[in-house]
Amino acid sequence: MDTFLSFCVGTLPLRLRCLVKPYLQALVLFVVGFAGLTALLTPWALGYWWSVGVPVTAGFGACWWLWYSWAPLARNYKGETRLAPLVLALATFVTMGFNFNAYLFFRLGEVRDVQNTKELLLPSTAIFFRLRGPFYAGKPMMGRHIVHYSESERGGARRYYAKYYYACPLLAYATDTTNILVTPPAWLGFAYEQFLGENLSFGKLDTRQQDFAVNCEARVKSLNLTNFTYLVRDEEVSNGLYRAVHASRLAPTSGTPLLLLPAWTPFAQRGNDSLHWTLLLTAIGSASIVLLLLVMPLRKDATTNE
């Protein structure tokens, strides 16, 4: 143990210069490059193609560069001994990029103040909406759509889930619900999801599905849909919410409805959760990588040349 510690301490300058420094450089370049491109292009409509595809691509590029920078770790001619920190680095880049993209989405997305609901009919690229004028959430005209699905686990187990989608028409006044010709300018969308159980019999599964539906209706009945702080455009247009819209009596006969997701947190704090996850996951991943770089055995000629 003493020999191992003395070896690590003796090679510390080499490890910091040839192993730790390249990783920190790659990390800074990744963050600055990803943030700069996202701010320049604002590619929110690309969805997962950007939030996952770009971090994966950039992460592979960074790891390709680190493959050569971390040559002192290659103790055989193929260099497989570098794979452990490289895989961990790739995972860090991808998870950090995904959460960082969510934070940038909330902080850089276009904000629009709306004086009345009719302004929602105007063409706009805004992501966030703040309603300043009168509006009415038509809960009696709300559309519903429920989805039941299951997933197979290793060992043959099957887990059952249920998700209940709601779409509430956003109108100017309560009297608008009496006019069947009125097309709501926007819809408030939200959903509840629950794990029902594992390896359930048909009777028990049916009972839990019905109980879930009853509980959702009770939650919606007591839900205040007028005290949200802002609304977020549903860029992906969830298929479940879309079906809920068309289950309403006020559903549009043509076109894509504007689906808005209500948020109850203060507007100034939007995206803070994503930032916290970004910092936490980056700190954990980077600390693990640096620890590996400081204790992993080095190639013999790397220490000899030093």
Q: Is the pLDDT of residue 279 over 50?
A: yes
**Total domain count for the chain?**
2
Note every long-range contact of 203-209, with CB atoms under 8 Å and residues 24 or more positions apart, other chains counting.
205/160, 208/160, 208/162, 209/148, 209/162
Same structural domain, 161 and 185: yes
Q: Which two tokens stand for residue 215?
A: 């509980």
How far apart are the C-alpha atoms of 14 and 20, rounded to whole Å?
9
**Structure tokens belonging to residue 238:** 């969830």
CA 100 – CA 278 distance, rounded (Å): 6
Whether the Cβ atoms of residue 172 and residue 135 lie closer than 8 Å to each other:
yes
Same domain, 85 and 33: yes
Domain for residue 167, yes or no?
yes
pLDDT at residue 4 is higher than 60: no
Are 58 and 143 members of one domain? no
| Residues 154 and 253 placed together within one structural domain of the fold | yes
- Domain around 206: 136-225+230-263
pLDDT top residue among 297 and 186: 186
258 and 160 in one domain? yes
Do the domain assignments include residue 256?
yes
Does 122 map to a domain? no
Q: Are residues 97 and 170 in the same domain?
A: no
| Cα Rg of the chain (Å, integer) | 26
Are residues 59 and 172 located together in one domain of the fold?
Answer: no
Whether residue 285 sits in one domain with residue 210: no
Q: What share of the chain is helix, strand, coil (3-state, %, to 5)?
A: 55, 20, 25
The listed range with the strongest mean pLDDT (85-99, 121-135, 150-164, 228-242) is 85-99
Q: Is 253 exposed, middle or buried (0-12, 13-18, 19+ CB in 10 A)?
A: exposed
- Range 175-206 burial, b when 16+ CB lie within 10 A, else e: ebbeeeebbbbbbbbbbbebebeeebeeeebe
143/258 same-domain check: yes
Q: What is the pTM of this model?
A: 0.78
Work out whether the CA dihedral 149, 153, 159, 162 comes out positive or negative. negative
For 76-116, write each residue's pLDDT tens digit.
655 567 888 999 999 999 999 999 999 999 999 889 999 88
Helix (H) / strand (E) element for 43: namely: none
In a shared domain, residues 246 and 157 = yes
Domain check: are 144 and 185 in the same one? Answer: yes
Give yes or no for a contact between 93 and 58, defined as CB atoms under 8 angstroms apart. Answer: yes
* Residues 78 and 158 placed together within one structural domain of the fold: no
Cβ(139)–Cβ(239) below 8 Å: no
Residue 124 forms part of a structural domain = no
Q: How far is CA 22 from CA 17, 62, 64, 73, 118, in A?
A: 8, 10, 12, 13, 54
- The predicted structure's pLDDT at residue 176: 61
Mean pLDDT in residue range 32-48: 89
Residue 127 within a domain: no
Asked, for residue 131, whether it belongs to a domain, the answer is no
Average pLDDT, the chain: 86
Query: Reduced to 3 states, what is the DSSP secondary structure of residue 144?
Result: strand
Provide the H-helix boundaries in the chain: 2-10, 12-15, 21-41, 48-51, 53-69, 83-108, 202-222, 239-246, 272-295, 300-305
Residue 129 falls inside a structural domain = no
Asked whether residue 67 is domain-assigned, the answer is yes
